Amino acid sequence: MLEKGTKAPDFVLSDKDGNEVSLSSFIGRKVVLYFYPRDNTPGCSRQACAFAESFEEFKNLDVAVIGISKDSVSSHVKFAEKYNLPFVLLSDPEHKVIESFGAWQEKKNYGKVSFGTVRSTFVIDENGIIEKVMPKVKPDTNAAEILEYLRG
């Protein structure tokens, strides 16, 4: 997983509306970039709703919130509509960006070993440098922990 002080790798991915979004387009603003396993699963839905509930506060701090999973653009559309998600959701079906941040890892579930997205969050500063890394975050407390960190 990428570490604090590392330049965040730039990327271009499609959002839920099919628009291409690059990380470099957010230079000048802080970005909360969170990776999650899958749309419409209990933990991922709770995490997304927590970010949505706190979205005005992130906006007031001039911080962009971006969620990335390997789900399709159409899956993101349904997910965002179902939960009224006001922030950017990006589709990384080939998991290239997920891998570049080190969030694609070996996981064990009921004795079965596979690879998948580890729920993790990065705070990226106005110059594109990672200023905080939160590996293996809890879906219910992630948004609040990030806000607490941003408030100092």
Type of residue found at 97? V
- Which is catalytic among the residues 8, 13, 23, 44? 44
Question: Would residue 44 show up in a list of annotated catalytic residues for this protein?
Answer: yes
Contact 61, 39 (CB under 8 A): no
Bridge partners (DSSP) of residue 64 are 31
What are the strands, taking DSSP E only, across the chain?
A: 12-15, 20-22, 30-35, 63-69, 88-91, 104-109, 112-117, 120-124, 130-134
Hey, which residues are catalytic here? 44
